[in-house]
Amino acid sequence: MTEDLPPVTIVAACLRDGAGGSPTAVLAEAPLSEAERCRIPGETGTSHAVFVDTAEPGAPVALRFFTSAGELPACGHGTVAALAYLAELSPEAEFRAVLRAGGRAFAGRAVREGAGYAAVFDPGPVALREPTQAEREGVLPALGLAAGLPDVRVASVGRERLLVPVPSRAVLSALTPDQDRLRAACDEAGLLGCYVYAVSGDRAAARMFAPSIGVPEDIANANSTACLAAHLAQQGITGLAVDMGDSVGSPATVIATVEPSPAGPRVQVGGIARIDAPRGGPDEAGGRMGPWARSY
């Protein structure tokens, strides 16, 4: 990376009890190549980078999301991070905006909560379907699970992923997927990844494996949590807190609510985000903050 890149703000998205969260690189939109954008997550020790474009007054705020493997149409915790970034810049006590990403416009808001911001957004309609036998047989054994596991669903808020229930947090914690096999199976099925979860009442734990987009395990995944909330709404659960990140040493919590509407269940999803100081040396992911890094 070169020193003339724009400033990078690191936002910890979806904190749990004020700590942990998913470090996300947030930048103002700039004339960068796709290769430069893809390098920013690795250079900053984050899994994702989000570019925020506020250049056109009165227009929706455009968001673009990147991992080291390429651009994504949507990123839930990246949206939470972007909302906190925008709220920090805003003079309003409660920041509200129309956002645009992945070809759709949607509402988001953020309000100061302690040292951070509580951010929530509309992830869009959730599509749910039964997985095919080929999807089951290709993906579930790569997770170390039986292909005949009940209540598995394919879910999408733009790109499909597998929702996979397990009976307990202990089973969830013990999973050691074959990442190469899982990537091949997800690529074959056209899946973003696998969101494996254990539910107890209105609290759940989950792990998101997405090697196909260069993220072996995500610290927090808000869009997949929205998918799970829509699925569990069919069982009468309308509010859900999902703990993630424990297995990678960065506890996170994503919150989702579901309300009925004429068009189907309306999901809202989000979490608490904190704008962090830049990290000046090699971090746990092997990245290094460059001289372009900044914080508020």
The answer to whether 230 and 258 are in contact (CB under 8 A) is yes
Coil, helix or strand at residue 62: strand
CB atoms within 10 A of CB 107: 13
Q: How far is CA 205 from CA 83, 231, 272, in A?
A: 24, 15, 17
DSSP per residue over 23-59, as a string?
Answer: EEEEEE-----HHHHHHHHHHHT-SEEEEEE--STTS
- Give the C-alpha separation, 7 to 5, whole Å: 7
- Give the C-alpha separation, 211 to 194, whole Å: 9
Per-residue pLDDT at 263: 74
Spell out the domains of the chain, with CATH numbers in brackets: 8-119+275-294 (3.10.310.10), 127-271 (3.10.310.10)
Per-residue pLDDT at 5: 63
Per-residue pLDDT at 292: 33
Per-residue pLDDT at 72: 95
Mean pLDDT, consecutive 10-residue segments, the chain of 296 residues?
Answer: 72 97 97 95 95 91 97 96 97 96 96 96 96 97 97 95 98 98 97 97 96 96 97 93 98 95 86 75 33 31
Q: How many Cα atoms are found within 13 Å in the side-chain-facing hemisphere of 54? A: 13
Tokens (6 digits) for 270: 């989000």
Which of these, 53, 41, 37, 32, lies nearest to 10 by C-alpha position?
41
Per-residue pLDDT at 56: 83
Per-residue pLDDT at 260: 80
Per-residue pLDDT at 279: 38
